Amino acid sequence: MQEKNWLQRLTKSNQDKWIGGVCGGLGEHSPIPAWCWRFLLAFLFLFYGAGLVIYILLWIFVPRAANDGENQEKEINKGGA
């Protein structure tokens, strides 16, 4: 079976997120850093109005990253307290 490319593996970031984790996820799964994605979407929003629409669509349709062991441990400790 063929390995998935970065776009097929795209998920929202749990660590590098400001609002929804979309740009952080793009930065983790693509060769372009997250700050470039944030700049690009802000530029598109300010000058063409499309950045907000693109961000909202990505926020809705890109799946959330699976919790790593550290986050699961925190959730377990919260539930037991």
Dump pLDDT digits (tens) for 21-58: 888 888 888 888 989 999 998 999 998 888 888 888 88
Dump pLDDT digits (tens) for 50-61: 888 888 888 888
pLDDT for position 78:
54
Does the pTM of the predicted model rise above 0.85?
no
- Which of these, 5, 30, 34, lies nearest to 19 by C-alpha position? 34
Question: Cα separation of 67 and 29, whole Å?
Answer: 16
Rounded percentage of the chain residues whose pLDDT exceeds 70: 77
7 pLDDT above the threshold of 80: no
Report phi then psi at 19, rounded to 5: -115, -70
